[in-house]
Amino acid sequence: MSGQDALFEYLLRLGDNALILGHRLSEWCGHGPALEEDLALSNVALDLIGQTQLWLNLAGAVEGKGRDADRLAYHRDARDFRNVLLVEQPNGDFAVTMARQFYFDAWHYLLLRELMGSKDGRIAEIAAKALKEVTYHVERSREWVVRLGDGTEESHRRMQAAVDDLWMYTGELFESDEVDQAVIGGGLGPDPASLHEPWLGLMRATAEEATLTLPQPGWAQRGGKRGIHSEHLGYILADLQFLQRAYPGATW
């Protein structure tokens, strides 16, 4: 795999993670448990969609075939998406949404901090911009994990179930393949494995505060980074891409 091909793949992963999670969160719009939470979820979604535009536009520029962020978002099929499985998991109840968010935000935060030092200035500047936003995301999702975990019997039971059920999707965040190796070798991004210990540290500290039991390391679901997805992604794309598929190039 050439360096350009690996960089393109890597940027798709960054962009698709933000796109699919942003879409998932936007599904809450109008359904949040309280007006403030509805607004907050939509605002986090908006930040992620903004970051998607930056990453996917850069991916398109690196690819050099004239595809921009919209083209990449609306005209690829599920097998061409490179997001991790975690972000395509359904919203479930509010505990599931917040557990998924905290797992992702903590990892995202650690990753962006490293990407700020990327040798590719275009990556470094997007990371610096996104990190400011993601710092607020992780503060908020962490607060919710603590509030629900250390809340009522019911909220504790639900948050513990969410933390348990989503755990198997976190392993993929720290695995590397030839794309990651090329990115590490070129000084463009960190070794995913190097983020694992700091991430676990944040998880342990938060679980303790939230009176939750962190699951034991175990078998990890994987595949999203290579385009092997759960059945959920197809439904997301049907919703996300319908308009551009039915009316290609439609604008307003």
What residues line the site for other proteins (CB under 8 A)? 36-37, 39-40, 43-44, 46-51, 53-54, 109-110, 113, 116, 121, 124-126, 128-133, 135-136, 138-140, 142-143, 198, 202, 205-206
- Return the number of the residue (104 or 109) whose C-beta is nearest other proteins: 109
Please state the closest distance from residue 32 (CB atom) to other proteins, in A: 10
- Return the number of the residue (85 or 207) whose C-beta is nearest other proteins: 207
Please state the closest distance from residue 228 (CB atom) to other proteins, in A: 29
Whole-angstrom distance, CA of residue 191 vs CA of residue 207: 25
Please state the closest distance from residue 8 (CB atom) to other proteins, in A: 20
Q: Is 64 left (phi over 0), alpha (psi -120 to 50) or beta?
A: left
- Return the number of the residue (181 or 211) whose C-beta is nearest other proteins: 211
Tokens for 19? 């796109």
Rg (CA), the chain: 18
Please state the closest distance from residue 74 (CB atom) to other proteins, in A: 17
Angstrom CA distances, 41 to 64, 112, 183, stand at 34, 21, 32
Q: Which residues contact 209 (CB under 8 A, 6 or more apart)?
A: 146, 149, 150
Angstrom CA distances, 199 to 102, 143, 175, stand at 11, 16, 13
- Return the number of the residue (125 or 177) whose C-beta is nearest other proteins: 125
Whole-angstrom distance, CA of residue 140 vs CA of residue 148: 12
Please state the closest distance from residue 128 (CB atom) to other proteins, in A: 5
- Return the number of the residue (77 or 139) whose C-beta is nearest other proteins: 139
- Return the number of the residue (68 or 178) whose C-beta is nearest other proteins: 68
Please state the closest distance from residue 179 (CB atom) to other proteins, in A: 24
Please state the closest distance from residue 199 (CB atom) to other proteins, in A: 10
- Return the number of the residue (79 or 147) whose C-beta is nearest other proteins: 147
**Nearest CA to 222 among 161, 180, 165, 170?**
170
**Nearest CA to 239 among 36, 95, 105, 74?**
74
Q: How many residues does the chain have?
A: 252
Burial class (CB in 10 A: 0-12, 13-18, 19+), 247: exposed
